[in-house]
Chain A
Amino acid sequence: MLEQLLNALTLAGLLFLVSAGLSLVFGILRVVNFAHGVFYMLGAYLGFTTVALTGAFWPALVAVPLVVGTLGALIESSTLRFIYRRPPLYQLLLTFGLALILEEGIRILYGPTAKGIDPPAYLEGAIRLGSLPYPRYRLFVVALGLVVAAAVWLFLRKTRAGLVIRAVAQNSEMADCLGADVARVRTLVFGAACALAGLGGVAAAPMTTAYLGMGIGVIVDAFVVVVIGGLGSIGGSMAGSLIVGAAQTWGAFYLPETAMVIMYAVMGAILIFRPWGLFGEPE
């Protein structure tokens, strides 16, 4: 039972890292970023490269989000920025096209074989929890998820920069009048969201290896999480991650074949009856 709880929390941690960024980008830029999953995948592959170059895992945790975040910011400022005034359809399609380019780019760089990373030495192996061994690395992922969630939440609620971001999310025109550099906020938020996704990828790689198709695999899960939690809400992403993580973990145990179907049904129900999710705000 404890094992399942930890499994759910591990999954929730990874889901949070991926979906928090997606949620933020929607809340502040009003864009559904279909390329989000590919940034996650890029993080995993870059993690592999960093570990191969430096021989250690910790540099990857720091360097990869920075690289992925910077790349995201560059992409936003060179493409998305020009089409904000258009109907949302265009931004959505743009991210779809970007996803194709990035995914193929990764394939060109790394080839089709999956790349494995091993967790760092002191996180390898398992701790005995009662009678069962539980991998240390998964506990690390749980901790990482909690720490990042707390950090993001504190940043948005307690810092001045966070205040500006929330203002832009609520009413970008007003924020602009009041002196906020809206364009820069958007770029930074997009970059930060990609950085989070990249961090998720690095964290996931020792558990799943870095492989092509990772992006598509995770994006639908991320959509389910942000819909349940509420597009634009960090607290919602946390709640959504926990719910989906728990559902997938216990679902896989008791009803592996129908677990996903149930998830889609829940997602559908929320979209019909409470589209702004559990923690979002009705528009």
Chain B
Amino acid sequence: MSPPRALAAAALAALALAPWVAARYQLSLLTDLLIYGLFALSLDLIMGYTGMVSFGHAAYFGLGAYASALVLIHFGPPVPVALLAGALLAGAVALPIGWFSTRATGIYFAMLTLAFAQLLYTVAYKWRDLTGGSDGIAGVPKTELFWGGPSLASSRAFYFLVAACVVGSLVICRAIVRSPFGRALQAIRENERRFTSLGRDPRPFKLVVFVIAAVFAGLAGALFAPFRGFASPEVMFWVFSGQGLMMVLMGGIGTLVGPILGAMVFILIQEVLSSYTEHWMIFTGAVFVLMVIFLPGGLVGTARRLRARA
């Protein structure tokens, strides 16, 4: 078995065995990390493979969270229904926003995503009747896997749901980037002008991948709401989008599995450091800056490069 395959098998085994090996708190933390990992993974689709820097990606995470929270509180269906609601809402909103945003490129695209994200954030913040305003929506229940099915209230059960969603999403995303569609995306990232000069229009590709990325971000948010039990405007703020970009870079842009790792490392650094010092932000920032300068491929990218050289 080649090293990457072996590594993947080991990772899957670790994920499967975790509930019996890890203490209760560690399992909760792992679930949390996987959710952020999914968010970072979705961002890598547009950032790593199509070269689009979005400062508004958190908005889709937030939309997924709110949709999931509202569905679970008001109707109480099995969690997968809420997940579907979250993913669909995120995708539905991403469609018009993406249509407008993809008319711009480069830094203008980034600014535009920021503007739209701020708009959505403001709506969430002010629409108190629906979203609870600045207080958010608390008390989101974990229900069941399907009607009459096993309850998801235990941390072990919910962990499996999250792990399954993340692994499944990774598999789907890998399939997407390896398909002809995915190769077209990479061609757009490499040189958009050449792509156009060959007679192809990049815009539909960008729009489609933008929506797909939003759907996965919405899924992550929809898992977040029942897991943490609430949804609030903070998860839609542009700073969270920026943190997502950091996670992707730390893991490795354009590697899909890297950003999942990057998200975990990012959150873990904060968790560990913040127990020792109130000033953990300086260390996180410093680590990040050093990585940008010296390890631009992130953890996975650098590892792959080292292996290729060996």
For residue A98, CB closer than 8 A to chain B, the reply is: yes
Cβ A223 vs Cβ B104 within 8 A: no
Scoring A residues 127 to 158 as 1 if CB is less than 8 Å from chain B, else 0, what string do you get? Answer: 00000000000000000000000000000000
**A268 in contact with B112 given A86-B296, A94-B289 (CB within 8 Å):** yes
| A-B residue pair count with CB separations less than 8 angstroms | 101
A110 to B285, CA, bound (A): 19
**A264 in contact with B282 given A83-B293, A86-B296 (CB within 8 Å):** no
A101-109, A164-172, A185-193, A233-241: which lies at the interface = A101-109
Cβ A90 vs Cβ B292 within 8 A: yes
Note all chain B residues with C-beta closer than 8 A to A105: 282
**A271 in contact with B108 given A82-B293, A105-B282, A264-B115 (CB within 8 Å):** yes
Instruction: Give A223's nearest chain B residue, CB to CB.
Output: B111
**A103 in contact with B111 given A93-B246, A257-B126 (CB within 8 Å):** no
Note all chain B residues with C-beta closer than 8 A to A108: 279, 282
Note all chain B residues with C-beta closer than 8 A to A216: 239
Cβ B118 vs Cβ A92 within 8 A: no
For residue A179, CB closer than 8 A to chain B, the reply is: no
Cβ B292 vs Cβ A272 within 8 A: no
Note all chain A residues with C-beta closer than 8 A to B293: 79, 82-83, 94
Cβ B126 vs Cβ A89 within 8 A: no
Note all chain A residues with C-beta closer than 8 A to B242: 34, 96
For residue A26, CB closer than 8 A to chain B, the reply is: yes
Min CB distance B289 to A, Å, is 4
For residue B300, CB closer than 8 A to chain A, the reply is: no
**A97 in contact with B288 given A86-B296, A271-B115 (CB within 8 Å):** yes
Report A245-283 residues with CB < 8 Å from chain B CB.
Answer: 257, 260-261, 264-265, 267-268, 271-272, 275
For residue A197, CB closer than 8 A to chain B, the reply is: no
Cβ A104 vs Cβ B281 within 8 A: yes
Note all chain A residues with C-beta closer than 8 A to B292: 83, 90, 93-94, 97
For residue B204, CB closer than 8 A to chain A, the reply is: no
A99 to B296, CA, bound (A): 19
Cβ 8 A contact of B282, one of A87, A88, A100, A268: A100
Note all chain B residues with C-beta closer than 8 A to A265: 119
Scoring B residues 260 to 288 as 1 if CB is less than 8 Å from chain A, else 0, what string do you get? Answer: 00000000000000000001011011101
Note all chain A residues with C-beta closer than 8 A to B51: 87, 89
Note all chain B residues with C-beta closer than 8 A to A103: 281
For residue B114, CB closer than 8 A to chain A, the reply is: yes
For residue B122, CB closer than 8 A to chain A, the reply is: yes
Instruction: Give B296's nearest chain A residue, CB to CB.
Output: A90
Between A and B, 30 residue pairs with Cβ closer than 8 Å are A79-B289, A79-B293, A83-B293, A87-B51, A88-B53, A89-B245, A89-B253, A90-B249, A93-B245, A96-B242, A96-B245, A96-B246, A97-B286, A97-B288, A97-B292, A99-B285, A100-B281, A107-B279, A220-B238, A223-B114, A231-B107, A257-B126, A261-B122, A264-B115, A264-B118, A267-B111, A268-B116, A271-B104, A271-B111, A272-B103
Query: Which of B's residues lie within 8 Å of A, judged by CB?
Result: 47, 51, 53, 100, 103-104, 106-108, 110-112, 114-116, 118-119, 122, 126, 238-239, 242, 245-246, 249, 253, 279, 281-282, 284-286, 288-289, 292-293, 296
